[in-house]
Structure 1
Amino acid sequence: MLCDHWAEPTLRLCLDRFDKRLYERAEQSRNHFDQQQCFDSRHLLRKGRTAFIESFAARLRESFERMSPQEDEQAASGALNLHSLTLLDRTEHELTAALDTLAARAEAQNGPILSELSYRLAVLVGAPPLEGTQLPPGPQNMARILRAASEPLNLPIEHRLLLLQEFDGSVGRTLVSLYEGINAKLLEEGILPRLRAFAITRIAHGPTHAGSQSIGAGPAAAPTNTAKQRHGSEPIAVLETLRDMLTRQRMPASGMTPAAADRTATPEELQTALSALQQHMVQVTDRTSRELRSAQRLQEELLYQLNLGLPPGAAPMQLTAEQGDTVELVAMLFEQLVQQLHHGPDAHALLGNLQLPLLRMAVADRDFFNLSEHPARQLLGKLADAIDTWLQGPNGETDQHLLAKLSQLVDRAQQEPPTAGLYTTLLADIDHHLTQLMRKAQTAERRHVEAMQGRERLEQARRRAGELMAERFAVVSPRGLLRTLLERAWTDVLALSLLRHEEHSEAFLHQLCITDQLLGQFPIQDPLALRQEVENGLQQIGMPADEAEQVAQRLISAQMPASIAPSPPPAEIAEAVTAEAALDEKSEPAAPPMATPALEEAKPQPPPSRLVDAPSATDLAIRLKQRQRLGEQRNQEASPATQAAVVPPLGLREARIFNHLRQLPFGTWFEFTDPAGGAAAQQKLAWFSPISGNSLFVNRRGQRSDVMNLQELARAIAEGRVRELPPQEDNLLDRAWHALTSNLRRPAPLLPETHS
């Protein structure tokens, strides 16, 4: 039951992070094949994530049910008789090595508690201490289950290795909570309550690594030594180092060492005072009273709470040196976080509400400073990043939904006692919510990128269709309705056919054949079929059926003979106009002067009644010119040509910047500064075309913010209106820690000398 409750949220968080890593790798890749492979893996992951979690949990339960070393020995003896030597596959070797490394690292970090668990579980089956794959929740068995559960996903080897990294980073850190929970459950059942376990000496299956050697603990080992061994190589002296730096900085300023107090608060008394102060802050309605507090103000309020119920004449209670330093360090950390934030009172209020709960956690658990993977510390980092990245909505306003969600998490931290389990749960909740925001942003960004790529392909297809049409116009120069149709609507038909098929495909060559028939280059074998083909082509680009029918009918029945003429004289043009007027006056269709035998056969096909209300060729040509082109918006057609005509050549510095921009990966961030107001906005380069140079910028939420050419971007960078932001691997909390330690390393100013 404990394993089931642990596996589902932990694996869900691991797969969410893995999906995020796949998307980041796809957006930073400049290879289309790699991008498509990442998106294919994401699709496979979404289809198989439920089955993966269920398979992992089922195999873990089965490991507990088969917890018998005799069965393993029989299976091993049988395997020795069946195995044969074969060549080792490269991917098999990489996966095995990665799993072995993952298991060795987890065993080194959780050695003592794993030893206790192996003894207690061995009592249940009457066997020696379990080890390796015989220990169901052990790292080696977890690695084996992970490998078996991930097989049905059919991920490529590089993505399976990436999944192992995320499993090690997210699941490996929570194993200690699982082991502690199982040990506590077995202790409740009375299984080895006074156990002082020896670490099991394991046989190395390869080169010996210092980090994977087991450390033995004697029966009389103290709990403090066990705690130190549990953290292995973690920097357990971080708090002491910070306190030493704080003391060195404080002493020159004060001129003396602080005197020891007569009576200091016990940890229980300090927690009681912090709890009372926290409940008082929850009840305060004034926002200004709930802002972040300095170290001096926090200590004054704590001392007031500690001495509130003392009898008259009793010695005042003081904080111990470690308690006072912890209060001051937490206050300084929150001050640095506020300086890193770029938001207003809502962000400050959220951090202010979390200051006392985290102070209670830091006082109760020294690992808050010593371990970067501490759940309370991770929650603080996630909350700060969520405030800095996501709290501001798409239009600059505060995202009230996210603000309410974060406020619920902070309220729960204020109301419940500070424990690692509480902050692990809160961390899973905020990770799940932020993952949903990230997915929405990724979906929106992908939609905009696909739209830009579609416009790019359409523009290339239209350009190629225009070139093919210009080649035919150089041979035959049509006029009137036919030229208007071919220059605009039929060019879009050819462009759409190019998008759907290749240039040398049968479908596109058929469209070119229709074009040549309209121009009179090929004889018309079936006028009705030709007219139907024209109607279908015009309807595919969005022309209404009745209008497409009118254009095709007028073109085939009346306009084509005059249009295919090389250069008709004015008298023949007048005769064509007279014939067209006769058609408008409900007369029988008259034969044009240059009619061909094929067109003579085409004239009687359309019924005369269909031409009664048909518009004239001039009206149809005007409609075609006013019609919106394929893929264009209103009043947008003339802008590209205008922009291309006025673009000046790049200078030397601008050309260097332009060449640099063409090598940047997708996902690079830029800061755009408004020349008028000076406001700066960060935008991400989501995509650019290596052919045209058109680029797409999006904001944090994946919404389209700007579209510009790389040449324009190069000029803006050269003029100082835009700058490229360097990649930041550290999050907001890490930068706050660096700023805190940098301030502590600075020598404190000496007090001015006093003269009598």
Structure 2
Amino acid sequence: MNKQQILKESIVIFDKYLQQGLKDAMKLTLKKLFSKAEVASSNQQEQELFNQYRQLKNGAKQFSGLIRTKIKEMPDFISAEVNKSDSKMSLSLVEDEELSISLALTQLDSTLEVVSHAELYTLEKRMNLIFENEKIDKTNMPFSPASVVWLFSHAFTQIEFDVPVKTMIVENLVKEFSDDINEAYHEINAVFIKAGILPNIKPEMIRPKSSGQDGQAAQDQAIDQTATDEQSASVQSGAGQVQGGGSGPSGGAAGQPGSLPGQAGGHAVHQSGSAGYPAGGSAGGNVESGYAGIPGQSGQTQQEARQLVESIFDLLSPPRGSAVSQNSDAVSQQSVANVDIDQALEQIGQDTGVVATSKNIGNLKEMLTDQVRNNTGNYYPELSPRQHKTLDLMGMVYDEIENDKTIDTHIRSSFNAINVPLLRTAIKDESFFTDNGHPARKFMELLVESSQKWHGTNVIKKIHQYSDTAAKSFDGSTQSFVKALEELTQYLKVTQTRAERAEQKWISAAEGKEKMDITKAQVDEHLQDILEGCDIKFIRDIVDHVWRDSLTLTLLREGKDSQQWDEKIDSAKTIAQIGNKMEFMKLSGPDKLKAMHQLDQTMDELGFSKRDRLSTKDNIHMCLSWQESDELNKEEKKPSLKKVLSIDEAVKTAEIETANKKIEDIRELSDEEKEMRSQVVNMPYGTLFDFIINQQNDVKRRKLSWVSTVSDRVLFVDLIGRHPHKMKLARLAIDLCRKNIIRVQLPEGGYFKNALNRIVNRLKKLAA
């Protein structure tokens, strides 16, 4: 099978999977745009969203065609570029790409690379053979994540989609295509294997007998054991190690309750592998001294941190297959220096993405030993117990981050970018685990803190560029982390200031609204007295919906002791008297004319249309004529009044609001809800809450900004100070008790320290 035939078959496979992922991503984008348009806050926003919806719906087929054309062109383009250049070329974004699109595409590249690194690595080696040079790598090979980014970046320039639409397509493609990319690569690799290019052969390695292991069975077990089994055995052996503490058959030698069963001098090896840490004492003793009293402390000293890390290391026994023996010469022949590990990690990071969670650490160890073997010529390299445990501990820290629901999942791409620099730092710098001020650790802490504080916002996606910069400029020192920490801190400070200013705008508006509500309540008391005895509905509506607003504005502007207030009150009383037969007889002609003039002037000030003002005046005259008619003529038909559109609309709105009573208006709060209401009143501003917004338990994180017991109102804003959300205190108490709204409790004292405490807790439970 020749090169063109292989590429042709590979293109068909890649196009099939990518087109399906793109199709699903565009469907999700259309659904999201339609949903957002339905709940738009203004007509302008609704129209804009529907325009984007129609734009994507009409252009979806054309966009798919553009991607397909670019896929077919890509191998020839890469081949031509590589052959005419002496240096390696990389597929890149369009230079003038929008920042939001660039960030989305960068995250797409990072996610796909991490998900598919195993299949991608083998495909890269095969691609180098058919292109007949070594200039092809993951940054320029066809079908790689970088090529996917290149495809979309160049296709976007030829399609008239708005920037938000393009960004949403890429974000949804991350979800859809990452599930299928490994299948695509597997099928493409199968095409190469069928053509006889680098068939997937795994040579068997036979390791010579070590003095720390007896018999061929132990050797076979060490060779064949998978990485996942290694870690599982590590935790289980740690459990047995603690259980065996003290004297007895399972306790090991006297005075060494932490010794491994069947391992002579095992504790001595542990001591020698703990350079820079306090050595001596049993594993059980270290657990007690390192863990007791740590949780809940606000200021953890460096000594306490060391003891905590030693407690974890003591609970982690060396994995099966490691060379642990009394013969120091045998150990030195297989041991790997930290500098060799550092070099191997750097090379692995350049070749492929690294996932650092526990389930992937075993694979990483295998890759490390293979790389060290290639670099040093040591055919049987073995990580030291300390190196094993350091990698295992980093995997468990990443497990804590991955499983924490308070952390925005989008931050994972930022962590994936710095996985290798963090692992290299942890291996060669033991202060990483114990020094709260270590730059790499502070940067890691800031990423976690940001993902909690800015959960669900675009800030999380923009943070990725700082991690990416730190990873690319990492030279083995902490300088790249120092610079990234400084730049990210500055960016978050500016973002925080903008969010606070935006939030203050809504707080001021809420305070003004509360003042208005209090004033309306005072006016309402006066109107109830004024309208008592008014029998004509039209007259009641006029006083209720015209003089209410007028009196409210007068009270706010002039005050209760002003002449304007007295005049308004007198006019309202006069108009109300027209609706009562007995009181009407007491009115003089000048009083009626003055009240009519005041009514017309007030409606004009409030912005009523001229038609409504004339209709109101005619209706008042009709009411006057009806009231002036003979009192004995009770059979006289009531007057037919003209419609006043503004008044009718106001009446209907009031009736709807009365009919649609909320649950908090219908029933009293339970004792639990009353207690919750009191707690909310005393909560500090800035407290975070997760609002469950649908049946899939998706959440929107909001910040408590303002609480008033006067108006019984609560104001929330989103994390960047926009989209205010108002609700009653009673409603909030009910939802909190029903778990429809959940208070977010962010850990104090540093995430890393708390993660170490949770890890030691978990290991102790396994050991128990």
TM-score if structure 2 supplies the norm length? 0.50
Amino acid at match of 2:608: M
The 1:649/1:329 distance shift into structure 2, 3 A limit, reads: closer
- How many Å apart are 1:532 and its aligned residue? 6.7
Comparing 437-446 and 527-536, the one that deviates more = 527-536
| Matched-pair contact (CA < 8 Å) for 1:683–1:705 | no
The 1:324/1:492 distance shift into structure 2, 3 A limit, reads: same
The 1:253/1:309 distance shift into structure 2, 3 A limit, reads: closer
CA distance in 2, matches of 1:455, 1:540: 21
Amino acid at match of 1:486: V
**Other-structure match for 1:427:** 485
CA distance in 1, matches of 2:703, 2:365: 44
Establish whether residue 625 from structure 1 lines up as the match of residue 647 from structure 2: yes
**Other-structure match for 1:500:** 557
Alignment partner of 2:344 out of 273, 277, 283: 273
CA offsets, 1:110-147, max 9 Å, x none? xxxxxxxxxxxxxxxxxxxxxxxxxxxxxxxxxxxxxx
**Other-structure match for 2:608:** 543
CA distance in 2, matches of 1:528, 1:306: 102
**Other-structure match for 2:212:** none
Comparing 659-668 and 495-504, the one that deviates more = 659-668
**Other-structure match for 1:687:** 706
- How many Å apart are 1:468 and its aligned residue? 1.0
| Matched-pair contact (CA < 8 Å) for 1:488–1:624 | no
- How many Å apart are 1:739 and its aligned residue? 1.7
Tell me the SS of whatever aligns to 1:729.
coil
Comparing 333-342 and 259-268, the one that deviates more = 259-268
CA offsets, 1:50-107, max 9 Å, x none? xxxxxxxxxxxxxxxxxxxxxxxxxxxxxxxxxxxxxxxxxxxxxxxxxxxxxxxxxx
CA distance in 1, matches of 2:436, 2:587: 77
- How many Å apart are 1:278 and its aligned residue? 1.6
The 1:626/1:436 distance shift into structure 2, 3 A limit, reads: farther
The 1:549/1:659 distance shift into structure 2, 3 A limit, reads: same
Tell me the SS of whatever aligns to 1:687.
strand
CA distance in 1, matches of 2:506, 2:402: 34
**Other-structure match for 1:737:** 756
The 1:325/1:498 distance shift into structure 2, 3 A limit, reads: same
- How many Å apart are 1:356 and its aligned residue? 0.8
- Give identity over the alignment, percent: 17
Establish whether residue 490 from structure 1 lines up as the match of residue 547 from structure 2: yes
**Other-structure match for 2:631:** 569
- How many Å apart are 1:453 and its aligned residue? 3.7
Alignment partner of 2:435 out of 342, 350, 371: 371
Establish whether residue 473 from structure 1 lines up as the match of residue 531 from structure 2: yes
Establish whether residue 353 from structure 1 lines up as the match of residue 372 from structure 2: no
The correspondence of residues 257-296 of structure 1 with structure 2, limited to 5 A, is 258-259=324-325, 260-262=331-333, 264-281=335-352, 294-296=360-362
The correspondence of residues 124-523 of structure 1 with structure 2, limited to 5 A, is 235-237=301-303, 240-241=306-307, 244-251=310-317, 258-259=324-325, 260-262=331-333, 264-281=335-352, 294-311=360-377, 314=378, 316-341=380-405, 346-390=410-454, 392-393=456-457, 399=458, 402-474=460-532, 477=534, 479=536, 482-516=539-573, 518=575
**Other-structure match for 2:19:** none
CA distance in 1, matches of 2:616, 2:475: 79
The 1:242/1:315 distance shift into structure 2, 3 A limit, reads: farther
| Matched-pair contact (CA < 8 Å) for 1:489–1:624 | no
The 1:443/1:403 distance shift into structure 2, 3 A limit, reads: same
| Matched-pair contact (CA < 8 Å) for 2:506–2:724 | no
The 1:729/1:543 distance shift into structure 2, 3 A limit, reads: farther
CA distance in 2, matches of 1:576, 1:331: 85
CA offsets, 1:3-51, max 9 Å, x none? xxxxxxxxxxxxxxxxxxxxxxxxxxxxxxxxxxxxxxxxxxxxxxxxx
| Matched-pair contact (CA < 8 Å) for 1:670–1:684 | yes
CA distance in 2, matches of 1:506, 1:375: 68
Establish whether residue 643 from structure 1 lines up as the match of residue 701 from structure 2: no
The 1:567/1:514 distance shift into structure 2, 3 A limit, reads: same
Tell me the SS of whatever aligns to 2:376.
coil
The 1:724/1:310 distance shift into structure 2, 3 A limit, reads: closer
- How many Å apart are 1:380 and its aligned residue? 0.8
TM-score if structure 1 supplies the norm length? 0.51
Amino acid at match of 1:467: E
The 1:626/1:732 distance shift into structure 2, 3 A limit, reads: farther
**Other-structure match for 2:167:** none
Which stretches in structure 2 are left out of the alignment for 5+ residues?
A: 1-275, 277-298, 326-330, 578-585
CA distance in 1, matches of 2:755, 2:742: 24
CA distance in 1, matches of 2:461, 2:645: 53
CA distance in 1, matches of 2:595, 2:356: 79
Which stretches in structure 1 are left out of the alignment for 5+ residues?
A: 1-223, 225-232, 394-398, 578-616, 750-756
